[in-house]
Structure 1
C-alpha cells in the first residue's frame, strides 16, 4: 500500500468533534506528528476535502490518549488544534469539549475498564498539566451514550459526562493574573488577562462598539473588529509572558456584556480567528472566574456571587453553559475547582490514512 493506516475513533466531545487516537499509534516526534495530523485532517483547504476535518476549528481537533504516566492519572490526554487552512498544529492549549469524549474513548480503546454503574476516570491534560475527574454512565459495566442530558449547540440528548477540573489556575502561564494586574489597558482597550484552565484576554463588548449579543455569523463578518481584536490579543499575549502569539491559538479572547436571558453574564468566545459557535469548556471556566473576581472588567455588568461554590450561567452565541466554581476569599480571590456537565458520542471508528510520503510507520 502507498498509505499508512492509523486506527482511530471519531467522537463528538461536547460541542466539538474530531479523531481520538492512541498516542502509541502516532509519531513521537512533534514535527512528524504535526505532518501526520495535517494530512489526516486535510488542513490547508477550507473544506478539509482531502482529510477528515470538518472545515471549522471545532471539527479539526485531535485527542491522543495513553495510560497515565504518573501516580494520579488513569489516562493521559494530549491535545492538538489543527488549523483549517494554514497547515499549522498548535500543541500548547488543551480543549475541554474534546476532553468530554476522553473517558468514553478510553473505555472504547480498552485503556480503562468500566467500574459498576458509574465509572470515574482521572485524566491528566498533558499540554497544560491540568487534572480532571470525569464520571460517565456505565450501567451494568457497559458504556452507554443514551441519556437525558442536553447541552446548548448539540441537538437531542445524551448520557451526561460530569467533569471536575482541579489545579486550573495558572496552568499555562503559572499565574492567576499573568500580568500581575486585575486590569490592563492595551491599545485603548481595557482587559482582564486571566489564566484559569485557559489563558485569556477578556474585554467588555461595549469597548469595541459591540453589544455582546451579536451572533457568531455577525461577528465573523466584522473584519474590522477582528483586526482590532487580534492586535490587542497579540500584545496581551506578550504582556502575559507568552511571547509571540501571532501563530498560536492562545491566549484566547473573550467579550463580556450584561446578561439578558436570566444568566449571570453574556459572553462571546473567539478561537481566536473565528467566533466560537457555542462556548469552550476551558474558556467557560476562565470567563466564569472573571465574572466572580472583584475588580475585573466584569465589574458593573452582573450581580456577583459571594458564596462558594457559585453557579455561573454564561449566555453564549447558541444558548447557555453552567459552570460550578469552588473558590476561596481567605487570601484574595482563589479558584479551587470548577465543574461542568457535557455529553459525548462515538460517531465512527476504523482507520484514517495518510500517504507514506508523510509517514511510513516503522
Structure 2
C-alpha cells in the first residue's frame, strides 16, 4: 500500500483484557515517534478508535511490546503500554497482569522463546515498566502453546488452559517501597472537607485502596454498568490525584486526568456481603475474603485487574491496612485471598514477610487463561 509500511502484529486475549502484541524491533525507538505509532495503530484519539485496531475500552486499548531479552535471568523483555482512547497519550507507568498472561504464550508461538516440544513450559519475563520478573507457566504441544483446557476465570466466557503467573518480588516497582507514604493507613482530605481512609500499596501496580465505609452509595448499580457515568468517579479521581501528588508522581503544574496518568490505580474495598455479579450470579460472602471495585482510566473495571490484585492481596495479609481491617477473618489462614468483584471471584496466592521490621511481598501467584485472536500485519504510515 502506497505510503504505508507493514508491521508484524497480533491481538491476544490475556485474562480479561485484549492486547495488541508488537515486536520492539519493528517500532521506532522509545520516544514521541513510538508513541505516535502506537496511537496510530490503535486509532487514538477517538472514542471509537474507528481508524485503528483498538477496542475503544480501557481493557482493550492495550499494547505489549516484546523482544528477546539480553539478560541472563530472562527470556523475553516486555513493555506494557496503556493507550488513551480519546486523548493522544500513551502511559508506560503501570504493568497489566492480564496482558502479561498472553506474553509467554505469544513468545513461544512466534519463536521468540524456544521450548521443549511437549509438556509444561516456563517463560521468564522481564517487565520493563516495573523492573520486576514474571515467570509464566503453561502447557505446550509440538512446541506451541495449548489454548484449550477446562480452566474458568471470571469475566471470560468459556474455558481455557491455565497460564500460571508467578510475580517475583513485585513490591516497590513504582516507588521502591511497599508502603511509599510510610504508613499502613493514610487520611486524604478533599477540597470539600471530607476525609477518606486509604492504604497506599506499591505491589504489582501502585494502588490506592479506599475504605468503602467512608463512601456513600459505593455499591450502586453503576459499578456494574460499563457505560455508566458513576457518581463516585470524581471523588475517587480526587483521592487518586491527591496521593499521586503526595508521592511526586506528577509535575506541580502538570494537568492530570484518569485517561492520561494510570498511576496510582484506585480501588474501593468493603467487607464481604451478598451481591450479584454483572451477569446476575449471586456471590456468597462466606466464599470471598474481601469485596473490591477497581477503576481503570476513570471507569469501573468489569472484573478485577491482576496487578491490582497483587497489591490488595498483600494488604489483606498485613495487619493495620484497610484491606486487613475489612477482610473476612475466617480467611486469615487460607492459602489464597479470594477477591469478590463485578465479574465473580478471583483467587490470588500471596506470600509476605517482615524481615527486620519492614514488610515485603515475596511472591504472588495468579491463574489466567489466554488465546490468540488474530495475527498478521498492521499498516503504519511511513
So what's the TM-score if we normalise by structure 2? Answer: 0.89
1:218–1:58 CA distance, 2 compared to 1 (3 A): closer
Shift of 1:78: 0.8
1:15–1:39 CA distance, 2 compared to 1 (3 A): same
Secondary structure of the equivalent of 1:128? coil
1:65-144 equivalent positions in 2, closer than 5 A: 65-115=66-116, 116-144=118-146
Distance across 2 between alignment mates of 1:56 and 1:34: 18
In the alignment, structure 1 residue 322 sits paired with structure 2 residue 343: no
- Of 369, 376, 382, 1:343 maps to 369
Distance across 2 between alignment mates of 1:215 and 1:159: 32
- Of 210, 213, 223, 1:203 maps to 210
Secondary structure of the equivalent of 1:100? helix
- Aligned match of 1:12: 13
- Aligned match of 1:178: 180
Distance across 1 between alignment mates of 2:137 and 2:375: 23
1:143-162 equivalent positions in 2, closer than 5 A: 143-162=145-164
In the alignment, structure 1 residue 248 sits paired with structure 2 residue 248: no
Distance across 2 between alignment mates of 1:219 and 1:236: 25
Any stretches of 5+ residues in structure 1 without a counterpart? 357-362
Any stretches of 5+ residues in structure 2 without a counterpart? 190-194, 274-283
Shift of 1:241: 3.5
Task: Single out whichever of 330-339 and 175-184 deviates more from structure 2.
Answer: 330-339
1:199–1:220 CA distance, 2 compared to 1 (3 A): farther
Task: Single out whichever of 251-260 and 324-333 deviates more from structure 2.
Answer: 324-333
Distance across 1 between alignment mates of 2:218 and 2:36: 41
- Aligned match of 1:190: 197
In the alignment, structure 1 residue 279 sits paired with structure 2 residue 304: yes
- Aligned match of 1:359: none
**Preserved contact between residue 60 and residue 84 of structure 1 (Cα < 8 Å):** yes
Secondary structure of the equivalent of 1:70? coil
Q: Over aligned residues, Cα RMSD in angstroms?
A: 1.8
Shift of 1:27: 0.7
Distance across 2 between alignment mates of 1:199 and 1:35: 26
So what's the TM-score if we normalise by structure 1? Answer: 0.93
1:303-314 equivalent positions in 2, closer than 5 A: 303-304=328-329, 307=333, 310-314=335-339
Secondary structure of the equivalent of 2:293? strand
Distance across 1 between alignment mates of 2:121 and 2:16: 22
